[in-house]
C-alpha cells in the first residue's frame, strides 16, 4: 500500500466535507474491496475517510411499506435482521451467500452498492426491487443509478447514505457461486411488486440488467415454468476462465427458474 492519512468523522456532514475537500480522498466502509485494491496500488488516496464512526449510517428500519438499510450496515447484519427477514426474505438470503463469514462481518451494503462490481450480489436486489439510493444530496432511482461495470450515478465526493427498498409481494434470488471465490457466475433476482414484475441478472454481464422477456412471461404467469424456456442471448456476457458467455447465458434461465421457485 502507498501511504495515506486517515480521518474518522462522526457525522455525514463532516464526512462529506472531508470527501469534497480533496478529489483524491476516498471513503472506506468495510474495506473488503478497497484494501485489496490499495494493496495492488490501483489508486493512491491522499487520505481515507473512515465511515465506521457515523451512527446515522448504520442499521435497518421498517417504515410503512419500505425497508431502509443504512450504508454502513454490514452483510451479517442484513442476514440476521428480523425486519429484513420478515419483509424481504430474499434480501436476507442474498446476504447469506455473499463471500464467507469473515467478509460478511466487515463488508457493508453501501460499499458494495457504491463499488458496483459486476460480480456483486446486492445490485440485483437494488434494481430488482426498484429501490432508491439515498445520498447526502439526493435520491436516485435504481434504474438511473447503475451505469455499467464499476460505474454508478454517484458523483465524486458524494456519499451513499442509505438504500430504501419497497417491500415486494414476492421476491427470490438464485446465484450460481464460483466454487472457489464464491462470487456470482450468474445470478437472477425476481420480484413481484405493486408496480409489476422485475427480473434482474447479475454476474453474467458487465453490470446488472433487466431481463424483459422474462418480466413479460412472469407478468402473464408467475411460475418457474414460465421462464424455463426463455433463452438469454450470450452476446455481451462475460467470458473468462470461470465460464464462457454461452455457459453464463444458460445459467440465467436456470437461475431464473430457481429464483421464482424460491419466491414461491
Partner 1 sequence: MPDHPTGSDTLPLSLTVNGEARQLRVAPWTTLLDLLREDLGLIGTKKGCDHGQCGSCTVLLDGKRANACLVLAVVKEGSNVTTIEGLAGPGGALHPMQAAFVEHDAFQCGYCTPGQICSAVALVEEGRARTPDEIREHMSGNICRCGAYPNIVAAIEQVLAENAR
Ligand X SMILES: Cc1cc2nc3c(=O)[nH]c(=O)nc-3n(C[C@H](O)[C@H](O)[C@H](O)COP(=O)(O)OP(=O)(O)OC[C@H]3O[C@@H](n4cnc5c(N)ncnc54)[C@H](O)[C@@H]3O)c2cc1C
Per CB under 8 A, residues contacting partner 1 are 1-6, 8, 21-22, 28, 31-32, 35-36, 38-39, 46-48, 50, 52, 76, 99-103, 105-106, 181-182
Q: Which residue has the cell 450480489?
A: 121
d(C-alpha 263, C-alpha 212), whole Å: 18
Residue whose C-alpha is closest to residue 16's, from 136, 123, 165, 100: 136
240 binds, among ligand X, partner 1, none (CB under 5 to 8 A by kind): none
62 vs 182 by CB, closer to partner 1 = 182
26 vs 62 by CB, closer to ligand X = 26
Give the residue, chosen from 81, 112, 124, 234, that forms a contact with ligand X under the rule CB under 6 A. Answer: 112
Q: Is 30 in the site for ligand X (CB under 6 A)?
A: yes
Residue whose C-alpha is closest to residue 170's, from 189, 187, 191, 149: 191
Give the residue, chosen from 60, 129, 159, 249, that forms a contact with ligand X under the rule CB under 6 A. Answer: 159
- Among positions 35-64, residues that touch ligand X (CB under 6 A) are 51
| HSE-CB of 207 using CA atoms within 13 angstroms | 18
114 vs 245 by CB, closer to ligand X = 114
27 binds, among partner 1, ligand X, none (CB under 5 to 8 A by kind): ligand X
* Min CB(179)–partner 1 separation in Å: 10
In 169-260 the beta strands, taken as DSSP E runs, fall at: 170-177, 184-193, 196-202, 209-210
Cα distances (angstroms) measured from residue 66 to each of 6, 83, 138, 193, 236: 35, 10, 18, 12, 34
* Min CB(171)–partner 1 separation in Å: 22
d(C-alpha 127, C-alpha 252), whole Å: 16
d(C-alpha 60, C-alpha 78), whole Å: 8
64 vs 179 by CB, closer to ligand X = 179
Q: Which residues bind ligand X (CB under 6 A)?
A: 26-34, 51, 71, 98-99, 103, 107-108, 110-112, 114-115, 117, 120-122, 154, 159-160, 182-183
Amino acid at each position: 500500500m502507498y501511504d495515506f492519512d486517515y480521518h474518522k468523522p462522526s457525522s455525514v456532514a463532516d464526512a462529506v466535507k472531508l470527501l469534497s475537500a480533496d478529489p483524491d480522498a476516498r471513503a472506506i466502509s468495510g474495506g473488503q474491496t478497497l484494501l485489496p485494491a490499495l494493496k495492488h496500488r490501483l489508486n493512491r488516496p491522499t487520505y481515507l475517510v473512515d465511515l465506521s464512526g457515523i451512527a446515522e449510517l448504520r442499521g435497518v428500519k421498517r417504515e410503512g411499506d419500505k425497508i431502509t438499510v443504512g450504508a454502513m450496515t454490514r452483510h451479517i447484519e442484513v442476514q440476521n435482521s428480523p425486519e429484513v427477514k420478515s419483509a424481504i426474505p430474499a434480501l436476507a438470503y442474498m446476504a447469506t451467500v455473499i463471500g464467507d463469514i469473515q467478509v460478511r462481518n466487515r463488508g457493508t451494503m453501501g460499499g458494495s452498492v457504491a463499488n458496483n462490481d459486476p460480480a456483486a450480489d446486492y445490485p440485483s436486489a437494488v434494481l430488482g426491487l426498484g429501490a432508491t439510493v439515498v445520498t447526502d444530496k439526493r435520491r436516485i432511482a435504481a434504474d438511473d443509478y447503475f451505469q455499467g461495470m464499476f460505474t454508478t450515478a454517484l458523483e465524486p465526493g458524494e456519499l451513499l447514505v442509505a438504500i430504501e427498498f419497497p417491500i415486494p409481494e414476492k421476491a427470490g434470488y438464485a446465484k450460481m457461486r464460483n466454487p472457489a471465490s464464491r462470487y456470482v457466475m450468474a445470478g437472477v433476482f425476481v420480484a413481484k411488486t405493486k408496480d409489476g414484475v422485475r427480473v434482474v441478472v447479475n454476474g453474467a454481464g458487465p453490470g446488472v440488467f433487466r431481463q424483459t422477456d422474462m418480466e413479460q412471461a412472469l407478468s402473464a404467469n408467475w411460475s418457474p415454468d414460465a421462464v424455463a424456456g426463455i433463452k438469454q442471448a450470450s452476446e455481451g456476457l462475460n467470458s473468462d476462465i470461470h465460464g464462457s458467455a454461452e455457459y453464463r447465458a444458460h445459467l440465467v434461465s436456470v437461475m431464473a427458474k430457481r429464483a421464482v421457485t424460491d419466491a414461491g
